């Protein structure tokens, strides 16, 4: 009679030795996990967490050592799983006497496997502005703007469909983490807000229902970050059903992902924006800007009316003045009786407080201006460092967050020349310092400054924001190249033809002492979605700054085609990148070039076509390799640590990534690594 010596499992499990009735050595072996082969000593009470590669199976076996023949496979049998959502468990028993004389009592070593987690987060949460449902640059939560919808992509890692009653909320310990960091969670949802994002919320939990195994869904939570610390904050969803909630001790580590918070204020003395993030402080001086004159004039006219005690279409409180299109008179404006003088005084005070460098929730202020100018109520009071109504930078949360009416205050403003300096919280070695939230070149904070500039522009008039940079400026944004084709080409380009690029250049002033590590990037970390390191978990990767030319990349695939079974040829297409959203993840270079690679929709809604791009796909780790926010990351060849390309596109699923060849990038902008 043939006995079973291994059982296949899928997903993440915790193995615990529950009993032992054997004198021989015992051990539990898991093969094919994300960590490779894992071994657990066969002593009662020992535990080991095993993480699978998504849908791929891994193999469980129990071995024994009789002291003569070394480790040998025991017979095992797995009993039917017990429990149901949100708990799943297996009991596995073993027999170490594997001959016809065996007593077959299967009690030599007995283990229990508890399923780790029902939900995972394949990508970190990102910020969505509730009024417009637009995502913030790279998903960063800017504290000055206050309230956001936090978009969380949840994945069913339960290996079976979720029950119909499944709902996803934030774990109690997650709420504690966020509260300690100054992040407020608002559980009240209006019907309008639910309809805007297509979800139903009960008691702060999103009704998700029977999600299929490994399927994903994007859900939203209301957060207020006006008092949050400028750093990363861990977000951990938790699944509940009619049978209860996931046991906290069994929540998978893949459920946890960080939200990134920055804080930007305006320094009146220096006439500069000061942005704080997790690794330091950036000071940005706007030396030049372009604005849309029509929207700017409209916004200034409306705010002058507010400043004089009137709203859009109305005069001052005592009949003073008339705005374009207004009727004058003694009314407050068509904001009506709700826009009282004390509210307007508070608005003016808050606008001035922001320009004086105080921490003001601009979005709460914006909502109150919208009410005054578009016909609603004032929305409550606010004060420096706080928000409307004193509710953690926002209202009580019960009203509508989405679909805020446009009061005509938006003015389109685009900084064209920016000087910035960076002060790091910790010293560093090498030419390049840390980057905020692991994203390149502090570009995220510069874009956020532009957003805040747009919101605050009408208040300041834009008159004193353009100024010369200070003496401690270390660099300035100088030029950018974005040259894809607007129409799809009718013929395939040659692989040797120059490829399209999407790249910007920052010129650094002065110099620092160089070390051999031209580029240093973070390796995988245990608090990120990808935990499989290239070298050392939680460490860093020092690279020499060399790069592969287009011809060398083509030669890699010519060699692989000629020697498909050569390990060196196979390893040559292995690559990795360290990105802001998906972390440090590895992948496979698919071909020498993707001749025509579409990307879209762009900002204008169009699709553009990049030629001769590098395309990477997931490797056996199945980790997301490129998500929104990873643009600007460098792809490195794993074996040589040479640069391959500059990442610029990838789907939310993280299945693949598109990058411009690094030789094309360097030629386009006229720079070199040195």
User: pLDDT tens-digit profile of 550-583?
Assistant: 999 999 999 999 999 999 999 999 999 988 777 8
Integer CA distances (angstroms), 120 to 125, 235, 269, 358, in order:
12, 11, 46, 39
Q: Which two tokens stand for residue 599?
A: 């990307």
Identify which has the larger pLDDT, 354 or 88. 88
Q: What is the dihedral of CA 525, 529, 534, 537, to 10 degrees?
A: 20
Helices 362-374 and 443-460: crossing angle in degrees, nearest 10, is: 40
- 279 pLDDT exceeds 80? no
Average pLDDT, the chain: 78
Tell me what pLDDT residue 401 has.
82
Tell me what pLDDT residue 605 has.
80
Identify which has the larger pLDDT, 261 or 379. 261
Helices and strands, number each (H, E), in the chain: 9, 38
Confidence band for 160, pLDDT divided at 50, 70 and 90:
very high
What mean pLDDT is predicted for residues 188-211?
Answer: 95
**In angstroms, how far apart are the furthest CA atoms of the chain?**
106
What is the distance between the alpha carbons of residues 643 and 227, in angstroms, rounded to a whole number?
40
Nearest to 573 by CA among 536, 615, 610: 615
Contact 484, 450 (CB under 8 A): no
119-120 and 232-235 beta bridge pairing = unpaired
Tell me what pLDDT residue 240 has.
96
- 237 pLDDT exceeds 90? yes
What is the distance between the alpha carbons of residues 542 and 105, in angstroms, rounded to a whole number?
55
Neighbouring-strand partners of residue 325: none
Confidence band for 465, pLDDT divided at 50, 70 and 90:
very low
Share of the chain above pLDDT 90, in %: 42
> What's the half-sphere exposure (Cβ side, CA atoms, 13 Å) at 503?
24
Tell me what pLDDT residue 518 has.
66
Can you give the length of the chain in residues?
674
309-350 pLDDT, tens digit each:
444 333 332 233 322 333 333 233 333 444 545 566 666 677
Confidence band for 167, pLDDT divided at 50, 70 and 90:
very high
Contact 309, 491 (CB under 8 A): no
What is the distance between the alpha carbons of residues 503 and 631, in angstroms, rounded to a whole number?
9
Share of the chain above pLDDT 70, in %: 69
Identify which has the larger pLDDT, 145 or 317. 145
What is the distance between the alpha carbons of residues 601 and 576, in angstroms, rounded to a whole number?
26
What is the distance between the alpha carbons of residues 341 and 309, in angstroms, rounded to a whole number?
7
Phi-psi map region of 225: left, alpha, beta (phi>0 left; psi -120 to 50 alpha): alpha
Tell me what pLDDT residue 175 has.
97
Identify which has the larger pLDDT, 355 or 49. 49
Flag the least confident range among 131-140, 471-480, 633-642: 471-480
Q: Write the DSSP assignment of 626-674 as a string of letters.
A: --TT-TTPEEEETTT--EEEEEEE--TT-SEEEEEEHHHHHHHHT----
623-673 pLDDT, tens digit each:
888 877 778 888 999 999 999 999 888 877 778 899 999 999 888 888 776
Identify which has the larger pLDDT, 163 or 310. 163
Nearest to 532 by CA among 583, 580, 574, 573: 583
Identify which has the larger pLDDT, 278 or 571. 571
Q: Which two tokens stand for residue 489?
A: 């080409």
What is the distance between the alpha carbons of residues 365 and 528, in angstroms, rounded to a whole number?
35
Tell me what pLDDT residue 516 has.
57
Per residue in 461-474, is it b (16+ CB within 10 Å) or e — as a string? ebeebeeebeeebb
Flag the least confident range among 11-25, 274-288, 392-406: 392-406
Contact 612, 645 (CB under 8 A): no
What mean pLDDT is predicted for residues 603-622?
Answer: 88
Identify which has the larger pLDDT, 42 or 411. 42
Tell me what pLDDT residue 403 has.
66
What is the distance between the alpha carbons of residues 388 and 370, in angstroms, rounded to a whole number?
13
Beta carbons within 8 Å of 354's beta carbon, 6+ residues apart: 265, 266, 360, 362, 365, 456, 459
Identify which has the larger pLDDT, 79 or 66. 66
- Give the start-end residues of each E strand in 497-593: 502-508, 519-522, 540-543, 574-579, 583-589
Residue tagged 């980790």 (tokens): 623
Contact 259, 232 (CB under 8 A): yes
Tell me what pLDDT residue 95 has.
93
- Phi, psi (rounded to 5 degrees) for 363: -70, -35
Q: Which two tokens stand for residue 143?
A: 């504290």
What mean pLDDT is predicted for residues 541-558?
Answer: 90
What is the distance between the alpha carbons of residues 598 and 611, in angstroms, rounded to a whole number?
9
Nearest to 73 by CA among 175, 176, 3: 3
- 512 pLDDT exceeds 50? no
Confidence band for 506, pLDDT divided at 50, 70 and 90:
low
């Amino acid at each position: 009679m043939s006995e079973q010596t291994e059982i296949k499992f899928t997903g993440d499990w915790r193995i615990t030795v529950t009993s032992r009735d054997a004198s021989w050595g015992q051990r539990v072996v898991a093969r094919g996990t994300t960590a490779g082969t894992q071994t657990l000593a066969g002593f009662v009470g020992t535990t080991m967490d095993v993480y699978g590669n998504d849908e791929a199976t891994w193999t469980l076996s129990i071995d024994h050592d009789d002291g003569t023949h070394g480790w040998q496979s025991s017979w095992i049998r797995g009993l039917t799983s017990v429990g149901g959502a949100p708990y799943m468990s297996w009991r596995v028993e073993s027999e170490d006497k594997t001959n016809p004389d065996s007593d077959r009592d299967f009690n030599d070593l007995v283990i229990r496997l508890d399923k780790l987690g029902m939900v995972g987060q394949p990508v970190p949460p990102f910020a969505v502005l509730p009024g417009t449902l637009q995502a913030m640059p790279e998903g960063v939560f800017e504290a000055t703007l206050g309230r956001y919808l936090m978009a969380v992509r949840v994945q069913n890692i339960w290996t079976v469909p979720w029950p119909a009653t499944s709902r996803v909320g934030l774990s109690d310990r997650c709420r504690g983490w966020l509260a300690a960091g100054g992040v407020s969670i608002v559980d009240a949802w209006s019907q309008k807000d639910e309809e805007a994002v297509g979800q139903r919320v009960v008691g702060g939990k999103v009704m998700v229902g029977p999600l299929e195994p490994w399927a994903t869904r994007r859900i939203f939570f209301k957060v207020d970050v006006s008092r949050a610390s400028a750093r990363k904050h861990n977000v951990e969803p938790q699944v509940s059903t009619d049978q209860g909630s996931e046991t906290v001790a069994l929540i998978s580590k893949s459920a946890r992902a960080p939200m990134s918070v920055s804080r930007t204020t305006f320094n009146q003395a220096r006439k500069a924006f000061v942005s704080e993030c997790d690794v330091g402080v950036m000071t940005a001086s706007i030396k030049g800007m372009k604005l849309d004159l029509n929207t700017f004039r409209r916004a200034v006219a409306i705010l002058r009316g507010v400043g004089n005690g009137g709203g859009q279409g109305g005069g001052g409180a005592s009949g003073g003045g008339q705005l374009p299109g207004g009727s004058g008179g003694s009314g407050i404006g068509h904001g009506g009786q709700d826009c009282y003088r004390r509210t307007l005084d508070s608005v003016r005070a808050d606008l001035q407080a922001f320009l004086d460098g105080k921490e003001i929730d601009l979005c709460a202020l914006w909502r109150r201006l919208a009410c005054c100018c578009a016909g609603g109520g004032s929305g409550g009071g606010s004060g420096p460092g706080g928000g409307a109504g004193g509710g953690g930078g926002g209202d009580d949360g019960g009203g509508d967050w989405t679909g805020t009416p446009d009061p005509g205050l938006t003015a389109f403003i685009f900084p064209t020349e920016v000087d910035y300096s960076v002060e790091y919280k910790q010293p560093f070695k090498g030419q390049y310092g840390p980057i905020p939230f692991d994203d390149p070149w502090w570009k995220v904070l510069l874009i956020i400054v532009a957003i805040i500039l747009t919101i605050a522009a009408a208040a300041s008039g834009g008159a004193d924001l353009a100024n010369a940079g200070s003496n401690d400026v270390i660099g300035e944004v100088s030029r950018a190249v974005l040259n894809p084709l607007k129409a799809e080409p009718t013929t395939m380009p040659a692989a040797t033809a120059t490829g399209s690029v999407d790249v910007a250049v920052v010129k650094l002033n002065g110099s620092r002492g160089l070390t051999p590590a031209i580029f240093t990037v973070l390796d995988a970390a245990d608090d990120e979605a990808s935990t499989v390191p290239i070298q050392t978990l939680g460490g860093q990767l020092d690279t020499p700054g060399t790069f592969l030319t287009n011809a060398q990349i083509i030669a890699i695939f010519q060699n692989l085609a000629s020697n498909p079974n050569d390990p060196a040829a196979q390893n040559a297409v292995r690559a990795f990148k360290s990105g802001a959203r998906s972390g440090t993840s590895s992948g496979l270079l698919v071909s020498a070039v993707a001749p025509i690679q579409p990307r879209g929709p762009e900002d204008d809604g169009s699709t553009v076509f990049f030629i001769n791009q590098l395309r990477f796909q997931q490797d056996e780790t199945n980790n997301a390799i490129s998500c929104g926010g990873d643009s600007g990351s460098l792809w490195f060849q794993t074996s040589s640590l040479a640069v391959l390309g500059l990442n610029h596109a990838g789907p939310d699923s993280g299945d693949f990534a598109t990058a411009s060849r690094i030789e094309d990038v360097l030629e386009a902008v006229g720079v070199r690594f040195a």
